[in-house]
A = this chain, B = another copy of it.
Amino acid sequence: MSFVQTVAWVDEQLRLIDQTQLPDKEVFLDLSTTDELIAAIRRLSVRGAPAIGVAGAFGVALAARQANGDETEFRKNAESVRASRPTAVNLAWAVDRTLAFALNGHADDWERRAVEEAQRILDEDLDLSRRMAEHGLTVLPDPATVLTHCNTGGLATAGGGTALGVVLEAGRRGRSVSVFVDETRPLLQGARLNTWELERVGIPYQLQCDGAAASTLASGRVDVVLVGADRIAANGDAANKIGTFAVALAARHANVPFYVVAPRSTFDLSLASGTDIPIEQRPAEEVRSFRSAAAAPANARVWNPAFDVTPAEFITGWISERGVERPPFPT
């Protein structure tokens, strides 16, 4: 079964599968300006730290085209892409890398060089997914029941995956694996995206409300928890989708190993601990409603942090492309 094509450069445009419309419809967006990309990132048409990074890298090519050879303009355009979401470190990393590579050439070549570097980041991301899956399989029994929170499969990356990528690879190798999928409010990435990815490859799963994870873990039904991360501090504290910390507490209580699977580009060794990770507050409307359905009074006051930080003490291991790591992480 092939990878999902989450992000691609097609006919001088950035093509994204619109994740807000899954699983109902498979719609592709062709973006030709940085404003279009920033809007797509903000409304989560593309999401997942590695996928945002790859999309942002191609965004540098759009930024170059709009700049018409003006370096100040180029940098400003790239910076606006870089700032479109604050928590995912991959976005800043990929934009910086692509911008630096582009600027290392002649102004006429900025766009071409940005596309070249972005494509390299995409290819590297697919390779990272393969390597993370390889290491992840070492902590997965066979048969295995995995619990996961938020979408960390092909859709969250350039097509391979981080935490769910390990599960998908287990399936490809014919291992017996099944998944408890947290629905992942408010935007239901588990309910919408993990179910879509798992059904696509025929891996059995049970969808559950986020609040059910603690009792599912306590019941002994789960062998291992695998989650992704949006940013990992030097001490191992990991920011991930809101609700992850509750899963970690429940896994510890149930004595179930809890692994974070993320590429090294998600590690931000400049931050001593998780308290330094900026946590984005998302719009109230995400909690007040889901799609067309109202969940609460239209004027309900809302607390909607997009991420929480799981302290390192609750994490069994950090699985990157280098292996199963533990802090202090070598640079």
* Chain A residues within CB distance 8 Å of chain B: 23-24, 149, 180, 182-186, 188, 191-192, 195-196, 199, 204-216, 218, 241-246, 249-250, 253, 287-288, 290-297, 300-305, 308-309
Interfacial chain B residues near A218, Cβ < 8 Å: 245, 308
Is A297's CB under 8 angstroms from B195's CB?
Answer: yes
Interfacial chain B residues near A215, Cβ < 8 Å: 242, 245, 305, 308-309
Interfacial chain B residues near A300, Cβ < 8 Å: 191, 195, 207
Is A212's CB under 8 angstroms from B292's CB?
Answer: no
Interfacial chain B residues near A211, Cβ < 8 Å: 149, 182, 184-185, 210, 241-244, 246, 308
CB-nearest residue of chain B to A296: B191
Q: A253 to B249: give the CA distance in the assembly, Å.
A: 8
Pull 9 A–B residue pairs with CB atoms less than 8 Å apart, ordered by A: A183-B185, A186-B209, A207-B303, A209-B210, A212-B304, A214-B245, A246-B249, A249-B249, A290-B290
Interfacial chain B residues near A288, Cβ < 8 Å: 191, 207
Is A243's CB under 8 angstroms from B210's CB?
Answer: yes
Q: What is the predominant secondary structure among interface residues of chain A facing chain B?
A: mixed
Is A303's CB under 8 angstroms from B188's CB?
Answer: no
Q: A211 to B309: give the CA distance in the assembly, Å.
A: 12
Pick the residue among B207, B216, B244 that contacts A296 (CB under 8 A).
B207
Is A212's CB under 8 angstroms from B297's CB?
Answer: no
Q: A266 to B290: give the CA distance in the assembly, Å.
A: 32
